[in-house]
Structure 1
Amino acid sequence: MFKIEERSSALESNGKIQVELHRGAKYPHRLNFYDKPPLYDVSIEEFETSALDRLRILAEIESSAARNRTWEETKAVTSAQCEKYLPLKSSTAVGVDREAQRRTDHLGHFVLRLAFCRTEELRRRFVKAETTLFRVRYETDDSTERESFLNTRDFNWIAVDKSEKDKYKQELLSYQGRADTFEADKYYKVRWTRVPDLVDRRKVLLKGGWAYVPSREQSSIVYQEFETHLERDLLVTARCMPRLDEDTRLGGILDNLSQGFLAGVSSEWSAAPTDINGEGIKAEMVDDLAAKHFPMCMRNSHQRLRADHRLNHFGRLQYGLFLKVLGLSVEEAIIFWRKSFDRINDDTFNKMYKYNIRHSFGLEGKRANYPAKRRILTSGGDPGCPYRHFSPENLQSALLSTYGPQGLTSTDLYEVMNTVKGGHFHVACTRVFEITHSSSGVKKGDGIGGGESVTHPNQYAAKSMELAKAKEEKAMEMSIHCSSSSPTMSIRKRSSNGVPDQKAEALQQYQDSDGHFTLVRNFRLADLVTIMNGVCGSLSIFSSARYLLNNDIDNLWWALSLPLAGLMFDFLDGKVARWRKSSSMLGQELDSLADLVSFGVAPSLLAFVVGLRTYLDTVVLTGFICCGLARLARFNATVALVPKDEAGKAKYFEGLPIPSSLGLVAVLAYWTRQGWIEGQQGIPWGTLTLWGEAGGRGELHVVSIVFALWAAAMVSKTLRVPKI
C-alpha cells in the first residue's frame, strides 16, 4: 500500500520541489524510527559526544515541561537547541553533509538507549522526551519529505472510502468537522487503542472498536506508533544489557549519561557576578549558592535534601520560602524540587508536592503570598536552628566541615562555641558570618553591616551575595588597573577570586624567590624535622635490601630500628612547629608522605625480609601499604569532621593510625632475636595451603592474617582510637 517512489528529477512540472532519494543513501529521510542499530565502529569520543549533544536537547525538553511552557514555546526552544547541538537539515538543503548529521543523530539515539533502558523510570522519561523531539521534527519537516517518509512505513491505517464516510457524515462532523471541506477531507480508521490521546480529547468518532481519524490528526497515529515502537525496543535493549556490562569502558559513560539527564545537563548557567544578585535565581544555581552564601540552618536543610532526597513538611516550607525570597520563581522552584525528589515519578510529585509549592507562591488556595520564615530558633523540629538544637560535638563537626573552606578555624570555633554555651545563638551565627567574610573586609563587630546581628536566614544570604558581587567587581577593576603591573602583584590580587588571602600569601613565597635550592630555603624547621622521618624510613628500606643481598644480621637490626627513629621525628615536628610558631602549607603533605614510607612501606618490606614471601603473603603486604595510604588520605580530607576538644584538637582517630604499625615491627624484632625468621628456625605458626599444592600460589603464612586485620583496622570507620 505504501511504497517508496524513486524520483529522478528534483522539480515537477508545477514547480514544486521534490525530495530526491539516492539509492546509496543510508539515511534517506530526516525523520527516523530508529529501526536498525548502527552497525559500524566508532571511537569512544564519538560515542560519548553524540550522546551528550542529544542529551542536552532531551534535558531541555524535560525542563520545558517542568516550566509549563506551551507547545509552541517548547517547539521553539527545542528547535533552537537542535540547531545548536544536533543540526538535522532536510534533504533539499545544500552545502551541508546530511549523511554525517543523520549518522550522528542515529548514533546518539542508540547510545542513549543503552543508558536509559535500565529502569522503568528512566525508560518512561526517555520515551517521553524522544517522542517530543520526534514531534518537533515532524512538525518542522518539509511536507513533501514528510510524506515520503510516511510512505516508507506501514502504519496499518485503513483509508475510509466515500460510502463509509457518507454513512457516518453527521457523526464525523460533530467531532469538529467542517461541512464545507468534508468532501475533500480524508479519514483513516485504526484501532482506538492506538490513539488514546485523541480518544481522551474527543477528537475522533468511535465505532465498533475503530477510531475514525481525520487527516489533520493523522500525526497522532505516527507519534503513538513511534512511542510504542521505542518502548518495545527499550525492553529488548534492557534484556541485552548483561552482555554489554562486560565492556568496562562503557559502564562509566552510560552511568554518567543517565545521571546527567536526571541532574539536568541542559543547564548552561555559570556563576557570573552579574547573576548573583538575589534576582532571577535558577534552579541549577542553588547548589553553588548554598555552598557559598547560605546560613547554617538553610545549608543544613540543603545538605539533608541532597543526601536523603526528602524533607518533612515544615522543612520544605521553611526552605522553600527561603529560596522564594532569595529570588527563585515558582517555575524554577518546581524544577528544583522535582530534581531533588528524583526517587518518585512525575504523577506522585504532582499529587504530593506541586500544589504546595504553588500555594506558597500565592497561586493556589486563598492565594496568600507567604513571606519567608524567620522564627528558626523557636522551631524544635526539623530543621530548626543548628546553634540551638545540635549537640556540641555535632555542631563543631558541622561548622568545620561546612565553613572550614571559607576560613573558619579551630581557634575561631572555640569562640563560637563559647557564645553558643551562653545561649546567644544569633550572635554565634553573626560571628560565623564575620569570620567567613573577612576576605571581603568584614571585621569582628561589623555583623551584617553597622554592627547589626543576623536575625533572618535571608538577611544572611542576601548580604553574603552582595559582598561577593562587590568583591568580584573590585577584583575585576583591580585586574584591569594592574594589568601592566608585575606578575607578583597580579598573583596577589587574584586571591580575591575565592582563595583566602592567607593562603595566597603562603603560596606566594614559592613565586617570590628564584634560583637553586629555592624550595629548600622555603622549608620551615618543622618541615625539615618531618623530612627526617622520611629519611629514617628510606634508610630502613635500603637496610632490608642489603640484608637480602649479604645476609648480614646487622643490616636487619638497622632496618628494624630506623622506623622507631622515624616515630621520634614524627612526634617532634608538631612540637617544633608550635615552639617556632611557624608552619607551611607543605607540612601536612610532607607528614603524610613520610609516614607512608616509615610506617607503611618499611614495615611491609621487613615482614617480607623475615619470611613472609609467598605469593599470597605479598598480596597481603601490598594491601597493607595501600590501606595505610588510604588511611592517610582520609585523615587529611576528613580531619575537620572529627569532634574537637576545647583546645581545638581532635578527640580521637578514626581507624588505627598508621604509626601503630610499629607494634608489628616490634613483633618482628622479637622474632629476629629468637631466630624465628627465614633461614633460621622459620616463621611461627607455619603456613596454610588455601588451594593447590604446598609451596604453590595458594600458600599463606598464618601471620599474614594479622597484617590483613591490621590493614582493615586502619581504614575502619567505626573504630575510634582516643588521642593521647
Structure 2
Amino acid sequence: MLHSRHTFTRVCCVWRDSFWKYASHQENGTMEFFSRKKKNNNSSSPQEELYGHSLQFYGQPPIENISLTEFETFAVERLKLLKTIENLGVSYVKQSEQYSKKLESEFKNLNFPYRVEVVDRKVQNGPSEYEKRRKDHISHFILRLAYCQTEDLRRWFIQQEVDLFKFRFNDMGAKQKLEFLHRNNLQYDTINAEEKKTLHDKLINSSYAVSGITVEDQDFYKVPFQDALDLVRTRKVYLKAGFVYIPHQDIVTIVLNDFRTRLSKALALTARSLPIVHSDERLQPLLNHLSHAYVGQDYSIQKNVGKISLDQIDSLSGKSFPLCMRQLHQSLREHHHLRHGGRMQYGLFLKGIGLSLEQALQFWRSEFIRGKVDADKFDKQYAYGIRHMFGKEGKRADYTPYSCMKVILSNMPSQGDYHGCPFRHSDPELLKQKLQFYKVSPSGIGQILELVKGMHYQLACQKYFELTHNVEDANFSLNHPNQYFIESQRLLSGGSRDLKREVETPQKTKPQPAAQEISAKDIPEMMEDLDSFFQDA
C-alpha cells in the first residue's frame, strides 16, 4: 500500500529527445519531467517555446514538476478524449459536420485545445489557452508511457492520436498550417500566383478535388516527391522535376504520415525503458491501470445484491449477457468447470449483477459437482476463491467486475480457456459461426466482423447489443460487461424506475466531476484501489 507521505516517483524524459530516465523524488508526491536537450540562447522560456502553437508533434518532453493528482487526472481525461474519438470514428464519417460538432463538444468539456488562439496565462474565467496546451502536452506523454507496453496498445494509441491530430490540423486556417509546418522544420512553401498560373491546367488535371473555379482560391504546396509517395502512388498530385504540387486540403496526408512515423518510433523507444520504470512497484500499477483504464461507472458497489435468483441465470444469459459472459456461461454448463481466468471474469460479473455470496457458492458448487469435482474437493480447492472474490478472505478487498478494457487486454486466453473477449480473441470464422448460432442476421454479422477487422472490439460488442435487442442506436458507449447487462435489462423492462435509477450514471461517458476533485488525502485510497485491482489479474 502506498501512503502520501512515502516516496513517490518522478519520470524524466531523456531519450535523446524522447527516452525516459527514471529517478526518485522524496518530498511532495510529484512527477518531474525534464529534457536533456541543450538549452538555446533565445530569450523565450522553454514553456513559451513548447506552447507557442496549439498543435505539436510532441517531440519535446515536459520540463516541469506535476502532482500525482494532476498526473492521473490529465491521463484519465485524455483517455476519455481518445475513447470518444474511437467511438465517433465508427459512428460517423470522420471530419463530417456531426463528427466535428460532437468532438468539439468533448474538447470543451475536457478543456483541451483544438483551435489556434492567443496564449494567455491570465484568463480568469476557466482554464487559459496556455493551461489547455500544457495539459495536452503532458497528458500525451503520460499515455505514451502507459500505451507503449504491447503491440495492441501501441496500435490503438497511434490510431486515436492520428485521428485527433488530423481533426485539429484540418481545423486550422492556411496561415496557421504554414506556421505549423515551419515550426516543425517541414519547409513546404506555397507556390506564388505566377507559378500557379503557369501550371493551371496541370494542377486541375492531376488533383481530383481541384476545378477551374477552385484552383485560383486555394494554396498549393511544393513538396519533394519522396515526402509524398502515397499521393504519387495514387496519382493524386502533379509531379515535376522531383517535386509534387499538393492542394492545401491534401497536405494533411504528408503531415499525418510524418506524425505517425515519429510517434511509432517514440513508442518503440519508450518501450525499451519500461524495465527501468517498472523497477518502482508503485509507478507500475498506476501505468498499468491507465492502459487498462475504464472511465465509466464503478460496478464494485453492489446495488443489486439479491435481485436475481439462481433459476434466472440461464434465461438472463440468453437475453442480457454480453457475448463474453454468454460464452462463459455456456461453457460452464457444458463442461461443468472453468479455469481460474474464467472463474474470475464470470464470477465477478455475476457478483456485479446481484448474485450474493451464498448464491455464488451454491451456483458454482452445484455446477462443479456435476463434473469431476466432488463436494469435498470443491470446498477445499474452490470455495475459498469465491469467498475471496467477495472480500471475505485474504486481505478482504471488494474486487471489481472486469471492465471491457481489462477483459480485452489483461489475460489472454490459451487453449482450454473460455474467458477473454470473443471479438478480440476468437478466430473470425469461429466468431461468425457463434453469431450465426445466436441468430444474428448475415448483414449484422458482416457489420460486426468489419468492426473486429478494424480492432474496434467494444464497438463490435455494442453492435451485437443493437442487433440482439433490435434497436438502431444503443444510445450509450459500452465500456463494461455489467453496463451491457444493466442497459439490456432497462430496455427489456421498458425502463422501470428502479433500473433507470441504477444505470443513469453510465449511459454517457461525460467527464465526471470526481476526476477534477481528487485531493492529496484521496491518494492513499486511490493507490490501494489500484493495488486491489491488479492482485487478481
**TM-score, structure 1 as length reference:** 0.38
Q: Which of structures 1 and 2 has the larger relative contact order (alpha carbons within 8 angstroms, sep 6+)? A: 2
Larger Rg over CA atoms = 1
| TM-score normalised by L of structure 2 | 0.49
Larger proportion of helix = 1
